[in-house]
Amino acid sequence: MTSPHLADPSAPSDPGGATVVAGLSTLDRFLAVWILLAMAAGLGLGRLVPGMDDVLAKVEIGGLSLPIALGLLVMMYPVLAKVRYDKLDAVTGDRKLMVSSLVINWLVGPAVMFALAWIFLPDLPEYRTGLIIVGLARCIAMVIIWNDLACGDREAAAVLVALNSVFQVLAFGLLGWFYLDLLPGRLGLGEGEQLDVSAWKIAANVVVFLGVPLLAGFLTRRIGERKLGRERYESNFLPRIGPWALYGLLFTIVILFALQGETITSQPGDVARIALPLLAYFAVMWFGTFALGKAIGLAYDRTATLAFTAAGNNFELAIAVAIATFGVTSGQALSGVVGPLIEVPVLVGLVYVSLAWRKRFANR
């Protein structure tokens, strides 16, 4: 029920993307429609079912939403089971890719979001702070599936996501202090903000949303190849678990928007204000990084991976930090919630843009 690329790692590559589009199942061909319906269903549930958001919010451990965690784990596991872990050395040896990813994610990305937040929301400090937090939370989960849908390099995605995770634990708190406290004061922009978040909480987020599915995918690949052989593992087993990545994605979207349905639908004007800098951010980060990848000579698959890992954000961490620091009804929390509301449809659209540009790389 998935596209050839998602289901079969050995499927022949079509530089122009025609084979991918022509071979899509109903689920994949109308993926954007299903995602929009999932968003609408989540918003409807949160708005129309009394107490739905409260019930879902209580199903958590240590500040981590169990329904969202379940959806993300189901979403990531099939993709990570497809990764050829024996090829990771070729990725880590690509210095252009590794250095570019670190610079874009931890120097450029937070700075771009800081600038856009102040340009678009100079009069709304709570929303501005929330957006800056979103910019600090680099993507470690959903980017896996955007990359796979865009026919990016699975092995490169696994390495870059793991690299971002390590830096997230080490750098999130420091960058939060820099962009929310030190820099605004030095630039004369007013008093700074303090983030109440520990490295342990960030580490727990990384372990749950990356460590668990990564370990499961690695063990599945090792044990599966040992028992079935690589050919049978990739031709028989992977197509069976492939559709669950998209099922997990749709489930996650429904739960995420059900949790915040009433908040989003009751403040449409504020949501629109927050959406503008987010749209600018995704455009700048994705198109700028894609152009960089092409300029430094990366192949299409690694360029796509670099672009999606640069543009995506860890919305779960951003929302958790905003709620823990400023409260569930705060403007900072609303900014975190609006993040995936804009990110999901935008990055789905960029998947199609990315696939359309494959031919340019093949013909250069």
* Structural tokens at position 76: 């990531």
Q: Is 33 exposed, middle or buried (0-12, 13-18, 19+ CB in 10 A)?
A: exposed
Angle at 310 between CA 25 and CA 202, to 5 degrees: 100
* Whole-angstrom distance, CA of residue 178 vs CA of residue 293: 28
Is the pTM higher than 0.85? The answer reads no
Q: According to the model, what pLDDT value does residue 53 have?
A: 65
List Cβ neighbours of 159 (8 Å cut-off, separation of 6 or more): 88, 91, 92, 98
Report whether pLDDT(13) > 60.
Answer: no
Neighbour-count burial for 324-363, b at 16+ CB within 10 Å, e otherwise = bbbeeebbbbbbbbbbbbbbbebbbebbeebbebbeebee
Could you tell me what percent of the chain has a pLDDT over 70?
85
Mean pLDDT of 81-110: 89
Q: Which SS3 state, helix, strand or coil, does residue 250 take?
A: helix
Residues above pLDDT 90, as percent of the chain: 28
- Quick one: pLDDT band at residue 194, thresholds 50, 70, 90? low
- What does the domain layout of the chain look like in residue ranges? 4-359
Q: Which residues pair with 64 in a beta bridge?
A: 61
**Mean model confidence pLDDT for the chain:** 82
Q: Which two tokens stand for residue 135?
A: 């910019």
**CA 305 remoteness from chain centre:** 12
CATH number of 4-359: 1.20.1530.20
- Of 147, 151, 144, the closest CA to residue 14 belongs to 151
Q: What is the average pLDDT across 173-185?
A: 86
**Which pLDDT belongs to residue 362?**
61
pLDDT top residue among 214 and 292: 292
| Residue 10 pLDDT > 70 | no
Buried b (16+ CB within 10 A) or exposed e, 259-281: bbbbbbeeeeebbebbbebbebb
Helix (H) or strand (E) holding 64: strand 64-65
Confidence (pLDDT) at 328: 66
CA 102 centroid distance within chain: 16
pLDDT tops 80 at residue 192: no
Q: How far apart are CA 335 and CA 121, in angstroms?
A: 11
121 burial level (CB within 10 Å; 0-12, 13-18, 19+): buried
